[in-house]
Amino acid sequence: MKHLEKAIMVTKSFLPPFEEYSKEIERIWETHWLTNMGPLHEELKNKLNEYLKTSNSTLCNNGHLALEIGLRALELPNGGEVITTPFTFASTTHAIVNSGLKPVFCDIEMKTYNLDVEKIEDLITEKTVAIMPVHVFGNPCDVKKIEEIAQKYNLKVFYDAAHAFGVEINEKGIGTFGDLSMFSLHATKVFNSIEGGVLTYNNPTLQKKLRLFKNFGITGPETVEAVGLNSKMNEFQAAMGIVNLRYIDEQIEKRKIITQRYRENLKRIEGITFIDDLENVKHNYSYFPIVIEEKIFGKTRDELFEELKEYNIFTRKYFYPLITDFDCYKEEYKNIELLNAKYISARVLTLPIYGELDLEIVEYICEVIKKIGA
């Protein structure tokens, strides 16, 4: 089999036409307003409210700090327990810990790899203050059941929607569920503002608090009310967001076609499974994870990962290791049982996907996978 001349990476950051971006940032040279909630920031915010179908949003310089700002604004008691998933990016857990809260890990379910809502209630104690689920790979959590539990036990819900930009359930923006949601606009995500984060929420009183915490706690020229952070989105980021928003629907459509092509080809390979579209969900096709059942496929996930590299195909083990196996957490969580999360984490591999990925390359990747397994 012929090897690709150019390496195929798991993703390729979207960039708009250079002229379009340079035209957008010309305005900055007119105003000399580089950051601190300038006109481009305000324009992007309004456009995102519309696109994400949310009534309120707060823009931050990255997704991680948006999580930390959001947790502060929820004013959870110090040391409170937050039920969350171990099958996520480091950021989710770090945000909880950096906020003086304690992560309590709940296992995931096998259909979407999201928090298993049937297992949440068993973990609730008198110290539980919030649930922080992740819409992993952009597939929505069981938001209805989570809301029921949160109401029953009076808990806050903060969704890490880093992967879920543009996702909808029954035509409702996914950022309208729970108390808060965070979308990451990092370069590697479906929609980027170079780096960036958006918090969305229904309760307008959160706006003031979020704004306070993202700007050092400053409320006026001579008043600082809180020990805040600095997490303001600058005008260059906002300009990138404004321009990229013109392309997002097209990008998601291209990703959908790529996803369909992967599914058509891979469903014929035994020992490989993937998540299909979910009912009543508008997907964003942000990732294409597969799960390798080594006994049927013939190779382990790690073997497939390594052998694909020889063909110049670079995949990612998302999410491996589990958060509970990170050096910084493993001592504390070594006795915890997370069967499904461990199972998926040991077998999952995300394949290359980005708007400009050629369908011929997708075909080629599938052929190579088939050959490696045979």
Ligand X SMILES: *Cc1c(COP(=O)(O)O)cnc(C)c1O
State which residue, 11 or 128, has the beta carbon closest to ligand X: 11
Please say whether the beta carbons of 365 and 307 come within 8 A: no
Distance CA 14, CA 16 (A): 7
Q: Which residue is nearest to ligand X (CB)?
A: 63
The nearest distance, CB 90 to ligand X, in angstroms, is 8
Compose the 117-136 pattern: x for residues touching ligand X by CB under 6 A, - for all others: -----------------x--
Q: Tokens for 200?
A: 């969305």
Cα distance between residue 10 and residue 313, in whole Å: 8
Exposure of 296 in the CB half-sphere (CA atoms within 13 A): 10
Which one among 62, 237, 259, 315 touches ligand X, defined by CB under 6 A? 62
Q: φ and ψ at 220, to 5 degrees? A: -165, 175
Could you say whether residue 181 binds ligand X (CB under 6 A)?
no
C-beta of 301 vs 316, nearer to ligand X:
316
Spell out the residues 6+ positions from residue 311 whose beta carbon is closer than 8 angstroms to its own.
1, 3, 4, 368
Residue 186 binding ligand X, by CB under 6 A: yes
Contact code string over 135-174 relative to ligand X, x by CB under 6 A: -------------------------x-xx-----------
Q: How many CA atoms lie within 13 A of 73 on its CB side?
A: 32
Residue 94 CB, nearest approach to ligand X (Å) = 9
Quote the least distance from Cβ 183 to ligand X, whole Å: 9
The Cα–Cα gap between 115 and 109 comes to 6
For ligand X, which residue of 184, 244, 273, 350 counts as binding (CB under 6 A)?
184
Record the tokens describing residue 114, joined without a space: 């999201």
- Under DSSP, the state recorded for 45 is H
Instruction: Identify the burial level of 170 via C-beta atoms within 10 angstroms of its C-beta, where 0-12 means exposed, 13-18 middle and 19 or more buried.
Output: exposed
Q: Per CB under 6 A, which region of 23-31, 61-69, 269-277, 304-312 contacts ligand X?
A: 61-69
| Among 33-41, 85-93, 105-113, 322-330, the segment contacting ligand X (CB under 6 A) | 85-93
Exactly one of 64, 214, 254, 301 binds ligand X (CB under 6 A); that residue is: 64
Give me the least distance between CB of 62 and ligand X, in Å please: 4
Contact pick of 14, 28, 40, 63 for ligand X (by CB under 6 A): 63
The helix or strand, by DSSP H or E, that contains position 59, with its residue range, turns out to be: strand 56-60
Nearer to ligand X, 140 or 373 (CB): 140
Query: Toward ligand X, which CB reaches closer, 184 or 372?
Result: 184
Residue with Cβ nearer ligand X (89 or 354): 89
DSSP state of 134: B
Nearest to 333 by CA among 101, 124, 105: 105
Residue 169's φ and ψ, nearest 5 degrees, are -115, 120
Q: Nearest to residue 284, comparing CAs of 142, 183, 176?
A: 183
Alpha-carbon gap, residue 296 to 290, rounded angstroms? 14
For ligand X, the closer CB: 65 or 242: 65
Annotate each residue in 238-267 with x if it binds ligand X (CB under 6 A) or - if it does not, as one string.
------------------------------
Q: Is 234 in the site for ligand X (CB under 6 A)?
A: no
CB of 88 or CB of 176, closer to ligand X: 88
Binding positions for ligand X, 86-115, rule CB under 6 A = 88-89, 91-92
CB 70 within 8 A of CB 199: yes
Please, what is the end-to-end C-alpha distance for the chain in angstroms? Answer: 14
**Closest CB to ligand X among residues 56, 231:** 231
Say how many residues touch ligand X, by CB under 6 A: 15
Site of interaction with ligand X (CB under 6 A): 62-64, 88-89, 91-92, 134, 160, 162-163, 184, 186, 195, 197
